[in-house]
A and B are shown apart, each in its own frame.
Chain A
Amino acid sequence: MNETTFQHKLAAHCESGVVTSLLNHSGVDLSEAMVFGVSGAIFFAYLNNPMMPFPTIALRNQPGKIYKNFSKFSKVPFQSNHYRNVEQARQGLDHLLEQNKPVAVQVDFFYMDYVPEYIRAHFNGHFVIVVGKENGHYIISDAYTPVLTKLAESTLHTARFAKGPFKPKGFILYRNAVTPEVHWEKAITRGIKYACFNMLSIPIPFLGARGIRYFAKKLPGWPKLARDEEHLSDEIMMINVLLEERGTGGGGFRFMYAAFLQEVAGRLNKPALNEIAEQMMINGDAWRLISIFAGKIGRNRQLDDAHLRELAAMIEKRADVEKQLFTDLKKIIR
């Protein structure tokens, strides 16, 4: 069983953590911030559709894009597969584990029995690494748990074939090949350009920097959508959870992106990136103040129009700042 050789690590985010762990295991020494940055995952979206019980925000692009973009931009190969049914998926996974390969799988987070019940929710975009199998249980490396953990075989397969949005269809991801020589400068440049495009140029009002402004505009209308005061309080406090707690590394991924920019400033020999990294860190801190403020007004039930507008004003300021930041970044990287 290769759980003895696999180095389990906590990570800020599940998908970037999984990709980083697979790379590290296969001898590619890379930080999670680099994986996140090269894949151009930083984003903003205000989402309000019938799939969701209440409007929400996303601070990275859609699940599955990190490994795809990372592989595309860096040309580091990953092997992946989908399966038609549970039996094939079980055989495929077990076969790879017998070869001592750690295998990343996409799952519905609701079935991760090792996390506390209060944080479990149906979300098909969670990624974990399976590193072994014993006595009817898989040994799981989850970026959100400090140590390796176990999950019943049947539960994992149910989680791999959950229905609904982003359904995993038994998805697996692993590494086979020897890593070719990577032109990191090219990969980093492509990742940054991709992120700048997403933040600045998508002509849809609820995406990118425009999306932040859209969020600020919509926020004062949330009381009309809530069942009652406690529901509204819960949703306002959820802003804090989404920005800080749900696998972002804090400040809605902005700190991790700042770490990436700081790391690549030397590699690309562009000292101006250090300045952008610093601005990104300040930006992340401002997002953190937004989350703290949201937590406080939610807790104290200060959910009147004045407080919501104050929160909205803080958010709207981020739209201006991020628009400027990514415009500057685009100029530097051009």
Chain B
Amino acid sequence: MALTISCIFNRLVLVIIVSAVIHRPGELSVKEKDAQFTTDRRMIMYVEKDNGSYQPIETGSYMIQNYFDDFLEKKDHLQKSYAEKLRKAEISPIEYYRVLLNMGVSDLAGRVGISTRKVRKHLLPEAFTSIPVKLLQRYAEVFRIPLANLFQLIENREEKVIQQLSTQNPLLVTTKIGGKESERNDIPA
């Protein structure tokens, strides 16, 4: 009996939440006036205009306007927890970057050009040490990081400008710390 009352109560709460979502003015809805968001990221949404026609309008992102802080917080937690696993040698750097870039194992294998089985092996720290440098280079290209970053974590606590510039030597990267934001080279290493 108590369980049934609890279930009914839960459903009631949910109905109230959904109703609030439906009727809250200024929330995302099919009407043009309710689909105006002011984020930097612009996008096209189809809405119902006052004259009843369905037309595209330019607007901003509902998600960024409402949940961007939550997104960044989760991303930060994920990076920190996987960096910690990396420091404790529980995972390999391949797994670290794979998770941060939200890639499937098969997708990564296809992009690097090796079997899924091999990639699974490379996710473990003990197998990482036996990966040939040429193959590590291919992983680094897919992750779009300098090869050196598979062997180091860079913590920028003072929020200085850090540039990693490629050199003619494909194995070597020059890391510049400091300088001005305006001097940043846009082309990644």
Interfacial residues, chain A to chain B (CB-CB below 8 A): 10-12, 32-33, 49-53, 110-111, 113, 116, 118-119, 121-122, 144-146, 152, 154-155, 162-165, 230-231, 233-234, 237, 240-241, 244-245, 247, 249-251, 255-256, 258-259, 262, 277, 281, 284-285, 288-289, 291-293, 295-296, 298-299, 306-307, 310
Residue of chain A at shortest CB distance from B64: A245
CB pair A255–B111 under 8 Å, yes or no, is no
Q: Which of B21, B22, B62, B99 has the most CB of A within 10 A?
A: B62
Asked if A121 meets B102 with Cβ closer than 8 Å, knowing A52-B107, A163-B110, A237-B67, the reply is yes
Taken together as a complex, chains A and B put the C-alpha atoms of A231 and B45 apart, in Å, by 28
Give how many B residues have a beta carbon under 8 Å from the other chain's beta carbons: 56
Q: What A residues does B28 contact at CB under 8 A?
A: 244, 288, 291-292
Interfacial residues, chain B to chain A (CB-CB below 8 A): 7, 10-11, 14, 17-18, 21-22, 27-30, 35, 41-48, 53-56, 58, 61-63, 66-67, 70-72, 74-75, 77-78, 99, 101-107, 110-113, 116, 142, 144, 186-188
Residue of chain A at shortest CB distance from B82: A227
Taken together as a complex, chains A and B put the C-alpha atoms of A165 and B78 apart, in Å, by 26
CB pair A33–B46 under 8 Å, yes or no, is yes
Taken together as a complex, chains A and B put the C-alpha atoms of A249 and B54 apart, in Å, by 11
CB pair B48–A281 under 8 Å, yes or no, is yes
What is the CB-to-nearest-CB distance from A180 to chain B, in angstroms, rounded to a whole number? 28
Taken together as a complex, chains A and B put the C-alpha atoms of A247 and B43 apart, in Å, by 8
CB pair B187–A122 under 8 Å, yes or no, is no
29 residue pairs of the A-B complex, CB under 8 angstroms, read A10-B58, A33-B56, A50-B104, A50-B106, A51-B110, A52-B104, A116-B41, A118-B71, A121-B102, A122-B107, A146-B58, A163-B113, A230-B77, A233-B70, A233-B74, A245-B61, A249-B44, A249-B45, A249-B46, A250-B35, A255-B54, A256-B56, A285-B30, A292-B21, A292-B27, A295-B67, A296-B17, A298-B67, A306-B10
- Apart from A122-B111, A249-B44, list 11 A-B contacts with CB within 8 A: A33-B54, A50-B104, A52-B104, A122-B103, A146-B58, A165-B110, A230-B78, A258-B54, A288-B28, A291-B28, A292-B28
CB pair A307–B14 under 8 Å, yes or no, is yes
Q: What A residues does B43 contact at CB under 8 A?
A: 10, 12, 144, 245, 247
What is the CB-to-nearest-CB distance from A259 to chain B, in angstroms, rounded to a whole number? 4
For the complex of A and B, 7 pairs with smallest distance between CB atoms: A255-B46, A50-B106, A259-B54, A12-B44, A164-B111, A250-B45, A164-B110
Asked if A310 meets B71 with Cβ closer than 8 Å, knowing A113-B186, A281-B54, the reply is no
Taken together as a complex, chains A and B put the C-alpha atoms of A110 and B61 apart, in Å, by 20
Taken together as a complex, chains A and B put the C-alpha atoms of A295 and B68 apart, in Å, by 11
Q: What A residues does B111 contact at CB under 8 A?
A: 122, 162-164
Q: What B residues does A163 contact at CB under 8 A?
A: 110-113
CB pair B103–A53 under 8 Å, yes or no, is yes
What is the CB-to-nearest-CB distance from B47 to chain A, in angstroms, rounded to a whole number? 7
What is the CB-to-nearest-CB distance from B120 to chain A, in angstroms, rounded to a whole number? 10
Asked if A310 meets B63 with Cβ closer than 8 Å, knowing A51-B107, A244-B28, A250-B46, the reply is no
Q: What B residues does A247 contact at CB under 8 A?
A: 43
What is the CB-to-nearest-CB distance from A308 to chain B, in angstroms, rounded to a whole number? 12
CB pair A250–B47 under 8 Å, yes or no, is yes
Q: What B residues does A293 contact at CB under 8 A?
A: 17-18, 21
